[in-house]
Amino acid sequence: MEFENFQSIVQLISVHARHHGSRDAIIFLERGELESERISYRDLDAQTDRIAAGLLEAGLAGKPIMIALPAGSAFIAAFLGCLRVGAVAIPAPIPDTDRSIGRIAAILSDAQPAAILTDEASALRLAKIDAPARIVVFDELSASVAAGAMPAADPGRHAFVQYTSGSTRAPKGIVITHGNLIANQEMIRAAFEQDSGIVCVSWLPHFHDMGLFGSILQPLFNGGTAVIMSPRAFIQKPLRWLRAIDKYHGTIAGGPSFGYELCTRMISPEEAPALDLSSWRVAFCGAEPVRAAVLAKFAERFRPAKFRHTSLVPCYGLAETTLIASSVAPGTGVSQKDVVVRGANASRRSFVSCGWAVAGSSIVLRDENGGVHESGEAIGEICIGGPHVSPGHWDASHRSVSPFENVFLNAGKQYLPTGDIGAFVDGELFPIDRISDIIILFGANIHATDIEATVLDDSGSTDIRSAVAFAVDDGNREKLVVLCELDRQAFRASDQGAMAERLRKRIAEVHGVVPLVGFVLYGALPRTSSGKIQRSASKRMLLSDQAPMIKVDAETEIAISKLRSIAESDATHPAQYCS
């Protein structure tokens, strides 16, 4: 099939429905075990049509619409229905915890959708937010006439807005066009060598880019099957994910390193051999730093289940490139090289290859002097150009796009800087670190500014003059660290234990992660000439032996010294070089 001829994924799914309507499109596993939904292409197309007709009749065609529905076929039909009538879909979590309700409220205020498409249970909760948008219950959406002919999709038309990477205080939506979506689906298909035999088994959040585009739309794009369970079902028992891969002969499944780590931690060597994972050809890993040690342990644990380590496919991407930006070729496995990272604390560390820019796109590295490197050996900010790059942020007041300001031209092509640092070794991309201040924990993005604001806004911590938050890699996952500056008097006070306790509690309540908290004297944190605290320099300071006096409790002391010894052993790794 010639995918290039389709300008919208909705058209493509209709074609699949006509050609092989009875094939399974979506299988949903309740609790990750019980098959509660099995939806064919014909059913999915009909459901999409019903939603599209309902949206038309409700006067919502062409308008921005938030979708807050649980994982399952309703969400997917709602998403496709929006695309079909030219509405701009805004996927959101369901309002089932204080945190997700806060998240929805922040997205609502930035996106200003005309309506929220949701279910009955969520509608009651959303009513309490006092949203300035019309609440439309999915099951009540109906129309007296069919949606009729599909409007010709203009590839430049806005398909949806992704709120996956924005700060929670001031979230920013990334606009993705129909053209972006189709281009990136084709890139994923080519990079992962997929075809209509694809069976993708996913536990990833269905409203996030990797869950929605990588694990649901990609199988639908190819005419294959998406097997879905909720993240909580997976985390509760990671064995459910692997059992589903076994049962449905999954060909592709993946997620952040965290998911692989959890499988190794929770599934015993005695349980592993009962599984048959031989159908799993692409085990992609991305979204947070790819951890070679975690993947090696996973491959070792599940070797008796016929899992091949060469199925592991490290990749790199971000919301601004719809999803994928680079990947190794399937069958290669995880490869590492040592890279000398220059700067204040030059160190040599081992990094995982994320392969090459996906077909039809290009990646360049821009060094600190502004030099642009297209290949060879280099270090710099990863910048991406291609038809999958979003045109900019959502501008709710004009219901339009506000272009990225930092886009630049190189050799006649536009590139978007990502805020991530990477190295080229023989032109192969090795992501190194983020300069953007996003902390990725358990696969979720948390902005450093949000954590710092929580600390500074806390009414019980008025002695804190300033604070800095950053993540430190402990070898398995990232650990959140918060350093607070105190005035001399407060710093001298014998015990900050109660304050640390209070902050840990507060941050856990608001952000869902428990940090290490330390205190330093006011002025001890590294600052720019304009007085702004530097997060990456603060992190280097904590990990170096030149750190100033940091007051912490005994447990935190142990945790920090552990992080230091890991950072040190990484830096003295034997080596191949690259500058």
Partner 1 sequence: MQPTQHNIAPEVLRAWMVKYICGVLGLDAATFSTSDRFDVYGLDSVEAVIMAGVMEEEFQVLVDPNQFFEYPSVDEFVNAFTSQASVG
- Residues at the site binding partner 1, with contacts judged by CB under 8 A: 30-31, 96-97, 232-233, 235-237, 262, 266, 442, 501, 504-505, 508-509, 512-514, 555
φ, ψ at 243 (rounded to 5°): -65, -40
What distance lies between CA 184 and its chain's CA centroid?
Answer: 15
What distance lies between CA 164 and its chain's CA centroid?
Answer: 6
Whole-number minimum distance, CB 471 to partner 1, in Å? 14
How far is residue 53's CA from residue 141's CA, in Å, rounded to a whole number? Answer: 9
What distance lies between CA 257 and its chain's CA centroid?
Answer: 12
**Nearest CB to partner 1, comparing residues 374 and 509:** 509
DSSP string, 286-333: -SS---HHHHHHHHHHTGGGT--GGGEEEEEE-GGGSSEEEEPPTTS-
How far is residue 474's CA from residue 431's CA, in Å, rounded to a whole number? Answer: 17
**Nearest CB to partner 1, comparing residues 207 and 221:** 207
**Nearest CB to partner 1, comparing residues 96 and 276:** 96
Q: Which of 151, 127, 249, 153 is nearest to 198 (CA)?
A: 249
Whole-number minimum distance, CB 73 to partner 1, in Å? 18
438 Ramachandran zone, left/alpha/beta (phi>0; psi -120 to 50)? beta
**Nearest CB to partner 1, comparing residues 434 and 506:** 506
**Nearest CB to partner 1, comparing residues 432 and 446:** 446
**Nearest CB to partner 1, comparing residues 509 and 568:** 509
- 68: enclosing H helix or E strand: strand 64-68
Whole-number minimum distance, CB 454 to partner 1, in Å? 13
Q: Which of 54, 28, 26, 31 is nearest to 41 (CA)?
A: 26
Whole-number minimum distance, CB 268 to partner 1, in Å? 11
Q: Which of 158, 171, 425, 186 is nearest to 324 (CA)?
A: 186
φ, ψ at 129 (rounded to 5°): -70, -20
**Nearest CB to partner 1, comparing residues 240 and 373:** 240
**Nearest CB to partner 1, comparing residues 159 and 510:** 510
How far is residue 318's CA from residue 326's CA, in Å, rounded to a whole number? Answer: 10
How far is residue 441's CA from residue 287's CA, in Å, rounded to a whole number? Answer: 10
Whole-number minimum distance, CB 514 to partner 1, in Å? 4
Whole-number minimum distance, CB 257 to partner 1, in Å? 14
Q: Give the gyration radius of the chain's Cα atoms.
A: 24
C-beta of residue 378 within 8 angstroms of C-beta of residue 449: no
φ, ψ at 173 (rounded to 5°): -90, 135
**Nearest CB to partner 1, comparing residues 235 and 407:** 235
Q: Tokens in use for 213?
A: 């585009």
Whole-number minimum distance, CB 472 to partner 1, in Å? 17
Percentages of the chain per state (helix, strand, coil), in multiples of 5: 35, 30, 35
Q: Tokens in use for 177?
A: 């066009």
**Nearest CB to partner 1, comparing residues 16 and 208:** 208
**Nearest CB to partner 1, comparing residues 159 and 448:** 448
Whole-number minimum distance, CB 507 to partner 1, in Å? 9
Q: Tokens in use for 240?
A: 């459910």
Whole-number minimum distance, CB 503 to partner 1, in Å? 12
Whole-number minimum distance, CB 476 to partner 1, in Å? 13
Whole-number minimum distance, CB 504 to partner 1, in Å? 7
φ, ψ at 473 (rounded to 5°): -75, 125
